């Protein structure tokens, strides 16, 4: 039996196909090169592809119950294994060894994209390195102190001093490589 998410995706594809076919039946394209309005068949096919694309991009069909659960980018689920830092805990956390601090915001889509990567990496490096996060909306003073202007910013600290900064998302392999280089 199909899940409700699968049904939503099929519905979006059918709806897009119907709209595309309706536009194709207008035959308003004089050259025949317009994918939606050249003929009903092409309009339906392109409309269905667009409908499916929009459904998948909107996250329909992903997660438990198709939108009923937490998505992979939900900071409350993916970032749960990461240490949340405050101005009071920041200095002590980065004081010894190598620490990766993710300066992020729940309103930043790239930050939410980065969070599951960090959450997956945290248990693998536990005991050797620390991965922590700072919500810049809650702790803008820390963001200002370290010159954070774009998100996400991943800042590596060695013994309390910033040694490397990455702006934007990074893959798990890139971060493992950075940890290996910094531990030398």
CATH number, domain at 164?
A: 3.40.30.10
Quote the percentage of the chain above a pLDDT of 90. 54
Q: What is the mean pLDDT of residues 163-169?
A: 97
> By CB neighbour count within 10 A (0-12 exposed, 13-18 middle, 19+ buried), where does 20 fall?
buried
DSSP letter assigned to residue 136: T
pLDDT at 164 over 70: yes
In a domain, 68, yes or no: no
> At 3, is the pLDDT very low, low, confident or very high (cuts 50, 70, 90)?
low
| pLDDT at res. 35 | 62
In a domain, 175, yes or no: yes
Which is the catalytic residue, given 14, 29, 34, 111?
Answer: 111
Number of domains observed in the structure of the chain:
2
Q: What is the pLDDT of residues 116-138, one digit of tens each?
A: 999 999 999 999 999 999 999 99
In a domain, 70, yes or no: no
Assign 135 to helix, strand or coil.
Answer: strand
> By CB neighbour count within 10 A (0-12 exposed, 13-18 middle, 19+ buried), where does 26 fall?
exposed
Q: Tell me, yes or no, whether 143 and 174 share the same domain.
A: yes
Catalytic site includes residue 29: no
Could you give the CA distance from residue 62 to residue 72 in angstroms, rounded to a whole number?
A: 9
**Number of CB atoms found within 10 A of residue 92's CB:** 10
Q: What is the pLDDT of residues 33-72, one digit of tens each?
A: 666 556 677 766 776 676 667 666 665 544 444 444 444 4
Specify the pTM: 0.60
In a domain, 164, yes or no: yes
Catalytic site includes residue 108: yes
């Amino acid at each position: 039996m199909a899940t409700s998410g699968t049904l939503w995706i099929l519905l979006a594809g059918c709806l897009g196909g119907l709209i595309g076919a309706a536009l194709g039946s207008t035959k308003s394209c004089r050259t025949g090169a317009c994918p939606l309005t050249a003929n009903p068949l092409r309009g339906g096919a392109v409309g269905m592809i667009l409908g499916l694309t929009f459904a998948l991009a909107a996250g329909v069909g992903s997660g438990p119950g198709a939108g009923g659960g937490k998505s992979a980018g939900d900071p409350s689920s993916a970032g749960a294994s990461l240490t949340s830092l405050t101005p009071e805990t920041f200095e002590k956390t980065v004081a010894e060894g190598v620490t990766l601090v993710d300066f992020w915001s729940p309103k930043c889509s790239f930050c939410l994209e980065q969070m599951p990567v960090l959450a997956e990496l945290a248990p693998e490096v536990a005991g050797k390195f620390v991965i922590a996060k700072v919500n810049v909306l809650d702790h803008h003073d820390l963001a200002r102190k370290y010159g954070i202007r774009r998100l996400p910013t991943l800042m590596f600290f060695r013994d309390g001093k910033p040694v490397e900064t990455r702006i934007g998302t990074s893959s798990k392999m890139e971060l493992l490589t950075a940890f290996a280089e910094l531990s030398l």
